[in-house]
Structure 1
Amino acid sequence: MTGSTNTATDFRNTILGGDSAQLMRAMPRNSVDFILTDPPYLVNYQGRDGRRVRNDDNSRWLRPAVNQMHRVLKWGGFMVSFYAWNRVDLFAEAWKAAGFRMVGHIVFRKNYASSSRFLRHEHEAAYLLAKGNVAPPAKAIPDVIDTPYSGNKLHPTQKPVEALLPLVETFCPKGGLVLDPFAGSGSSLVAAQHLGRDWLGMELDPDHAATATRRLAWHGAKRVAA
C-alpha cells in the first residue's frame, strides 16, 4: 500500500503485519476515530512461561509510533493507551511531544496478583488522551474497571475483551474506525467488532498477527451467524 492513493476505507477490518509507525505513514491524516492500544511496556517483560514481547527491550519505536498515532487520529478524537507505571515518564513525554493531552486515567482492577514484591500488583492502568478540543461523552464511564483474567493463552500480556468493550462503546462513534497499532492477539479489535465498529490492527510479530487474524475471522463468523 502507498500513502498517495489510499483512503481510510482501504484499511478497515484487516490486520497488517509489520512496523506500525511505517504502516501508519501510509494512512491518510485524520482517518481514525478512536485508538485503543496496549503497547510494549519497555520493561523487557518475560512471562512465567518464558514468552516475551517484541520491542519491549527498547524505546526507539515509541516517539515515531506516537507521532503517527496523533497524525492519523481525527481532531476531537480519543486514544486510550496502556502503559507501565515505572516507564510513565517516557510515555508521557512521547504523548505530549506528539500533541496529545491527558484528559483521564483508568485503572483496570484485577481479581488476582500478576506479581508481588513490594506490593501485590493487582491492576493495570491506561491514560485517556485527546487530540484537539474534545467533547465529553454522553455518558461517562467509571475510571475503575473490573478486569477478569484472560488466561494469556493467545498472548503473554493478553487483555480481556470484557474490559475493553466500554471504552470502544464510549469513545468510538457508531460506524467509526478503531485502530490498535500494537494489536497482539486482537482483543481490542474483537471488542470493536462485537460493537459493530470497524477496526484496524497492526502487529510486528507475525505469529501474533496470524493469531489475531484467525480470532477476528472466528468472532466475525460467529457474530454473523447469531
Structure 2
Amino acid sequence: MSEWLDRVYCEDALQGMARIEDASVDLIIADPPYGLGKDYGNDSDKLDTQAYLAWMEQWVDIALPKLKANGSLYIFLTWRYSPEVFVMLKQRMMMVNEIIWDRRVPSMGGSTRRYSSVHDTVGFFAKSKDYYFDLDAVRIPYDEQTKKARTRSIFVGAKWLEMGYNPKDVWSVSRLHREHRERADHPTQKPLEIIERMIKASCPSGGMVLDPFMGSGTTAVAARRCGRHFTGFELNPTYCEMIQRRLAELPAEPTAPEAVS
C-alpha cells in the first residue's frame, strides 16, 4: 500500500480504485456528484436518475472491499437521492448515523413553491459492528459557565463533563462563501471542520483515508492536518493542480483542527 500513500491520481475513480489492495483503507469519505447537473469541468454530474443510481452502485461495489474489517464510510448526498442510496448501502453495510449538515444559509428568498433547501445529508456507515470510532477525539468542550453550573457531587469527575459532550447528528457549519479564507474555485467544496471531525473520529492516527472524488482536495488537506495518510482520485486536471497547491501551502507538522458544533 506504500505506493498509494499521500497520492492524488488524476483519473476516473472506478478505474483507479480497482488497483487498490482490498482491506487496506481505514476510512472512505465520498463526496460524489449529487446528480444536480453541476459543472465540474466535465459531464460527470449530468446523468439521468436511472443512470445516476446505477453509477452510484457501481463505484460503491468497487470501493467497499478496500475497507478494513473495522472501516467506515461517510457519504455526502442531497435529499433527492439519499433515500435510494441509503437503501442500497444498507444492503452492504451497517448504517450508524444519518448526519444533517446545516450549511447556515441565510434567508434570501428562494422558491415560492417549496421550502428552501439549506442542508446536505451525510450517511455514516460501518463495515462491521466493531468499527473504529474515537469519540474522545471529537468531543465538544463545555464552556466554563456550564461546568460551574454542574458542580453537584453526582457530576464530579464525570468524564463527559471534563472532556466535553458527544457531537449531535446535526452539524451546523457555515458553507464556504465566496470570501471565506478556505474557499477554492470549486462549486461544492466542503469545510475542513466537517472532514476533520470525520477523520479524527473514524480513522486511527497514521491510518489511511480514501476519497474517490477529491474535488478541491479538502479530504487530503484534512488528513495531512490530522496526521493521517490519504489517497484519492479526481477527473478534472485543474482540480488536481488545485489540490497540489493546497497541500503545498500546509505547514510541515499537523495542526490542531478546530471544533465543530
* In 1, Cα distance between equivalents of 2:81 and 2:208: 29
Using the TM superposition, name which of 13-22 and 119-128 deviates more: 119-128
Matched, 1:133 2:129: yes
| Contact 2:27-2:71 within 8 A present in 1 as well | yes
* In 1, Cα distance between equivalents of 2:20 and 2:61: 13
- State the 1:42 CA deviation: 1.3
- State the 1:157 CA deviation: 0.6
Deviations 1:207-226 (A, max 9, x none): 1122112212222xx24498
The CA RMSD measured in Å over matched residues stands at 2.3
Letter of the 1:202 counterpart: F
Matched, 1:120 2:116: yes
Q: What residue number does 1:88 align with?
A: 82
Report the TM-score, using the length of structure 2 for normalisation: 0.74
| Contact 2:102-2:172 within 8 A present in 1 as well | yes
| Contact 2:221-2:247 within 8 A present in 1 as well | yes
Letter of the 2:174 counterpart: P
* In 2, Cα distance between equivalents of 1:90 and 1:218: 39
* In 2, Cα distance between equivalents of 1:83 and 1:66: 14
Using the TM superposition, name which of 141-150 and 187-196 deviates more: 141-150
* In 1, Cα distance between equivalents of 2:34 and 2:41: 11
Call closer, same or farther: CA 1:54–1:100 in 2, change over 3 Å. farther
Matched, 1:193 2:224: yes
Matched, 1:183 2:209: no
* Counterpart pick for 2:46 among 53, 57, 81: 57
* In 1, Cα distance between equivalents of 2:173 and 2:129: 30
* Secondary structure of 1:200's aligned partner: strand
* Secondary structure of 2:80's aligned partner: helix
Deviations 1:162-209 (A, max 9, x none): 122111100011110011100100112211111000011211112112
Q: What residue number does 1:169 align with?
A: 200
Runs of 4+ aligned residues of structure 1 deviating over 6 Å after TM superposition are: none
Matched, 1:78 2:72: yes
- State the 1:27 CA deviation: 0.7
| Contact 1:54-1:204 within 8 A present in 2 as well | no
Q: What residue number does 2:150 align with?
A: none
Report the TM-score, using the length of structure 1 for normalisation: 0.85
Q: What residue number does 1:148 align with?
A: 174
Gapped runs of 5+ residues in structure 2? 136-165, 178-182, 256-261
* In 2, Cα distance between equivalents of 1:45 and 1:187: 18
Call closer, same or farther: CA 1:34–1:40 in 2, change over 3 Å. same
* Secondary structure of 1:216's aligned partner: helix
Calculate percent identity across the aligned residue pairs.
28
* In 2, Cα distance between equivalents of 1:128 and 1:54: 27
Using the TM superposition, name which of 64-73 and 127-136 deviates more: 127-136
Call closer, same or farther: CA 1:160–1:67 in 2, change over 3 Å. same
Q: What residue number does 2:247 align with?
A: 216
Deviations 1:75-106 (A, max 9, x none): 12111000121112442244245x22221111
Aligned residues: 212
* Secondary structure of 2:117's aligned partner: coil
